[in-house]
Amino acid sequence: MTLLVAETLGIHFGGVQAVDDVSFAVETGRIFSIIGPNGAGKTTLFNLISGIYRPNTGRILLAGEDVTGLPPHRLAAKGIARTFQNLQVFYGMTVIENVMVGRHLREERRLVPAMLGLPSVTRQNRATRKKAHEILAFVGLDERIDEPAGALSYGDLRRLEIGRALALEPKLLLLDEPAAGCNPVETAELIGLVRNIAEQGVTIVLVEHDMRFVMQISDRVLVLDGGRMLAEGSPEAVRQNPEVVAAYLGRHGAREAGYARG
């Protein structure tokens, strides 16, 4: 079954065509990666899918429903969650509160009961906290739940963002360079985590620079260059695509790709 479909997406800023005629489809429960050199339009594409930008052309379908141009919080309600390349952690809150924010849509949000501190609100806080705790345990952060988020290491912050996104119980999880800035151990742990998430039936679309990471984990790979699609297919197919090797990986990259193959 197809969860996410992008049809001829395009957006320009001033005279710059940042994303141009990009189409792809992602099957439910799969891991779909988007790669490309810097400035290829990967994050812009993410911003289109998550509703931060509105596309100039094309459509986005989520589980068959047209969700083009919906604002981010509406998309979140439809089951899209994401993390950010440059972290967007709520530094003024504790670790567990960050994840509790992710439960927003599952919570009663009326003002008056909240201000009165009704027993129902207290109960709900307790339930949200419990759930957040479980999620933190799942992403491996359950030891430091009441510390300020700022006290965490870079790699832990990436997990925290993933935890916050998972708290939404999304259908589609967008990960923007989840391994950026992580050391090899952290990266390896991350691969396990992403696989675990996918196994639970969450569809994952990710943007990543780390080739090893992408090749190990992806079901399909989309290559962008200059805002346009260069190739799309299985990791193996993409790796062997000479156009990709030439344009994206370059000479140096070609050698590296060769190693990866061997």
Q: Quick one: tokens of 227?
A: 């805002």
Q: Which is nearer to another protein, 56 or 125 (CB)?
A: 125
The distance of closest approach from Cβ of residue 249 to another protein in the complex, given in angstroms and rounded to an integer, is 26
Q: Which is nearer to another protein, 82 or 220 (CB)?
A: 82
Q: Which residues bind another protein (CB under 8 A)?
A: 13, 43, 47, 50-52, 71-73, 75-77, 80-82, 84-86, 88-93, 97, 100-105, 107-109, 111, 114-117, 121, 124-125, 128, 146, 161, 164-165, 167-168, 176
The distance of closest approach from Cβ of residue 132 to another protein in the complex, given in angstroms and rounded to an integer, is 11
The distance of closest approach from Cβ of residue 18 to another protein in the complex, given in angstroms and rounded to an integer, is 10
Q: Which is nearer to another protein, 89 or 230 (CB)?
A: 89
Q: Which is nearer to another protein, 56 or 85 (CB)?
A: 85
The distance of closest approach from Cβ of residue 131 to another protein in the complex, given in angstroms and rounded to an integer, is 13
Q: Which is nearer to another protein, 120 or 234 (CB)?
A: 120
The distance of closest approach from Cβ of residue 175 to another protein in the complex, given in angstroms and rounded to an integer, is 12
The distance of closest approach from Cβ of residue 238 to another protein in the complex, given in angstroms and rounded to an integer, is 26
SS (H, E, C) the chain: CEEEEEEEEEEEECCEEEEEEEEEEEECCCEEEEECCCCCCHHHHHHHHCCCCCCCEEEEEECCEECCCCCHHHHHHCCEEECCCCCCCCCCCEHHHHHHHHCHHHCCCCHHHHHHCCHHHHHHHHHHHHHHHHHHHHHCCCCCCCCEHHHCCHHHHHHHHHHHHHCCCCCEEEEECCCCCCCHHHHHHHHHHHHHHHHCCCEEEEECCCHHHHHHHCCEEEEEECCEEEEEECHHHHHHCHHHHHHHHHHHHHHHHHHHHC
Q: Which is nearer to another protein, 56 or 124 (CB)?
A: 124
